[in-house]
Chains A and B, each alone.
Chain A
Amino acid sequence: MILKPTLEDVKNIGYYLGKIIIGLALTMLVPALFALACAEFNPAIDFIIAIEITLLFGFLLTQLCFTEGDLNWMQGMIVVSLSWIVAMLLGAIPLYLSGHWKSYLDACFDAMSGFATTGLALVQDLDHLSLSHNLWRHLTMFIGGQGIVIVMLAFFVKSRSGAFKMYVGEARDERIMPNVVHTSRFIWTVSIVFLALGTLALGLVGVLNGMKPGNAFFHGACVFMAAFDTGGFAPQSQNILYYHSLPFEIITIVIMVLGAINFKLHYHLWIGNRKEILKNIETKTLFITVMLTFLITAVGLKQLGSYPGALILFRKGFYQLISGHTGTGFQTIYALQFGQDWSHLALVGVICAMALGGGVCSTTGAIKMLRIGIIYKAMQEDIKRIILPPRAIVVKKFHHIKELFLEDKQVRAALLITLAYLLLYGAGAIAGMLFGYPFLDALFESTSAAANVGLSCGITNISMPSALKVTYILQMWSGRLEFMSVLTLVGFFVAVIKGK
């Protein structure tokens, strides 16, 4: 029997959702103040309108649903899944008001793409977008990469047990510190430290390449936010190709890899456990899968002879591959070049890389390295069991911060999430084919959306069908949250309709 949700459930969900919305309004102050500082008065008005609507909505929810109760698991999951949808709807307001998006749906698409750190974009005439709107696009990635709820946990939430339920709901199942609020603050500390270093490095390269200092550091900050949060937006329509700079590409590769590293691993490396990087199952798996998928891609590229030299193969082939594998989506080629210069084998290599992703508890999407490592170890264990005599005891261990025994429940969880991702990639590809796109292109774009990557082979553009835009929005949302909180939300609505 399904139980109908109670008024207390609705009030708890509404109250915490309201708090998150108020937090979102406060983050919009950054581009609003930036717009005023840059004398961009019309964009400033766009942000002021968006802040007012967001604050009004947040305050209404917290007042109407005021409660002192704590969140249970179901409520925590629903708050998380709803907060991402609401963030998309409200975060899209200043984008839509700018006039650079054809419709509100297009603005919502870019807002979800930003928050989910995907990087697929439907913006028009990006090269003439105001600085403050551009900052907001990249800030959505910085907020979404760490987690919308993490922002709230780090700065606003007092309740510890309710906080943990929301933390888990946002696809972060690793506790770095015993206290989840301290964990959230550590995640932000890492991000801010790297923001300073990354902006400085990219800004200096920009200055050396002849950009004006203010412009160079603005681009540096935006590109850093998109790279570290494995997002993929860039301030110019040509993406990273705009800079035509090998040092810029090398620095962004480093930042993308840093973004794909588990925050728990960052923590252990920062407290002095430096050998962990050589032993950790995630870093080892990432290294191996990057090499394997790149080998497939490079052989595929060699078939067509598109990039004959080593350096050009590195800058065009390896760059797109590492961008796809880390879930970033930066491009140093035009989208249509995937269809013209890349063989099917090369595309398959990139699709595999996109499907795998980076570390768990990092800013990447997709299946993730820990799960791939666990599945590989489980397969090894099963093969050993077949080969060895029946009496032999096979004990399998793996190293993730400490030595851990491989348990059936870990394998089951890893396989279930992997299966869910594969189904999501497949479902999006079928949706693309229903609208007449070829199989490989549809699979490429679907995997890119569901794995929160952002590489595009050209399907994502303003003229694609609205239904496909909505499909990709749903894929980005469920892929970023790793299904559990999304499925809980579906279950909640079923309980509202069918519950007794």
Chain B
Amino acid sequence: MKIKSLVLRPVLGIGVEILYALAIMLAGFIICLALSISR
């Protein structure tokens, strides 16, 4: 139980934060892609 609250939850929390940052990056790249193929 202690391991779950001390290690697992923060690790999953960090994972979610990284996914959020990657989502912003991906959305930015999609805009780049869309603009580069549009005339």
Contact = CB atoms under 8 A, between A and B. Distances in A.
Interface of A: 193-194, 197, 250, 253-254, 257-258, 261, 266, 269-272, 274, 277, 283, 286-287, 290-291, 294-295, 298-299, 302, 308-311, 313-314, 317-318, 321-322
Contact of A310 (B14, B21, B36): B36
A266 B29 contact: no
B28 A302 contact: no
Interface residues of B, number: 24
Contacts of B29: 310, 314, 318
Given A253-B25, A270-B9, A291-B27, A283 B20 contact: yes
A313 B17 contact: no
Interface of B: 5, 9-10, 12-14, 16-18, 20-25, 27-29, 31-33, 35-37
Contact of B32 (A257, A283, A298): A298
A290 B33 contact: no
Contacts of A287: 23-24, 27
Contact of A313 (B5, B14, B21, B36): B36
B30 to A, nearest CB: 9
A270 B10 contact: yes
A304 to B, nearest CB: 13
Given A254-B22, A310-B33, A290 B17 contact: no
A270 B11 CA distance: 7
Contact of B28 (A193, A308, A314): A314
**Which A-B residue pairs are the 10 nearest by beta carbons?**
A257-B21, A269-B13, A270-B13, A310-B36, A313-B32, A254-B21, A318-B28, A270-B10, A310-B33, A310-B32
A313 B35 contact: yes
Contacts of A277: 16-17, 20
Contact of B18 (A254, A272, A321): A254
A291 B20 contact: no
A266 to B, nearest CB: 7
Contacts of B9: 270-272
Contacts of B12: 272, 274
Contact of B36 (A266, A272, A291, A309): A309
Contacts of B10: 193, 270
A488 B18 CA distance: 39
Contacts of A294: 28, 31
Contacts of A290: 24, 27-28
Nearest to A291: B27
B13 A257 contact: no
Nearest to B9: A272
A317 B21 contact: no
Central interface residue in A257, A294, A317, A321, by most chain B CB within 10 Å: A257
Contact of A258 (B17, B32, B37): B17
A302 B20 CA distance: 27
Given A254-B22, A261-B20, 5 more contacts: A269-B14, A269-B17, A270-B14, A274-B16, A294-B28
Nearest to B18: A254
B32 A314 contact: yes
A257 B20 contact: yes
Contacts of A261: 17, 20
A257 B27 CA distance: 14
A269 B9 CA distance: 8
B24 A266 contact: no
Nearest to A283: B20
B1 to A, nearest CB: 13
Contacts of B5: 271-272
Central interface residue in A194, A270, A295, by most chain B CB within 10 Å: A270
Contacts of B31: 291, 294-295, 298, 318
A258 B22 CA distance: 11
B18 A308 contact: no
